Structure 1
């Protein structure tokens, strides 16, 4: 079992508050977030961006291991994730994560690749965590 941690602090309340996120690894240390970084274009991060990064990384790693198990040892996988936050019922809900994958895997057929990629999408731990629609568009070079 592996446990990873992060912490958040929010000074002030609501729109005028200022948040800071720190991760266990230190890759993020007091990284700014707030209303303006989440709902407008102010520099800084936000929860949806961090979830998108986690989903892209998790799916891509899961796919690389699934491809290796299927006998493929070489290639490149590049995934972008777009996490959508929508207002509903007086609150907000993350409704979907759209994965777009560009891949180069020498020797794999398009059908075999599609099957392995679909399995990775369904079985990566972040996909399992999200209570949202998950789509996958993939392009095999």
Structure 2
């Protein structure tokens, strides 16, 4: 997908070192807790739309389209601050997470598995059954 003309010409977007697919990795960090709740990708249009809306919009690599976080679940991410790392190749979003759930599994964070001993262990509970989230969005 080619970026929109406005996004392609924005000076602030040109500073970012996009990968060979026109994407940049994005970390979503919840301001209230300091938790890293999600990792995703953005293209120029997704980042420009994020700035425009004040809510996180990502690029879905599997669906090959823009994905407004929370469009189905209601768990939108209000963006309070956007930062760029020292190499200009990773974006950090400081966010407020609606509903306290960032992960499609119904957990607070996508990083709910912890390596201990010689295996991965689930260390965060499911806050809401994903079937309830996606059958009855925003409830």
Normalised by the length of structure 1, the TM-score is: 0.29
Bigger Cα Rg: 1
Normalised by the length of structure 2, the TM-score is: 0.29
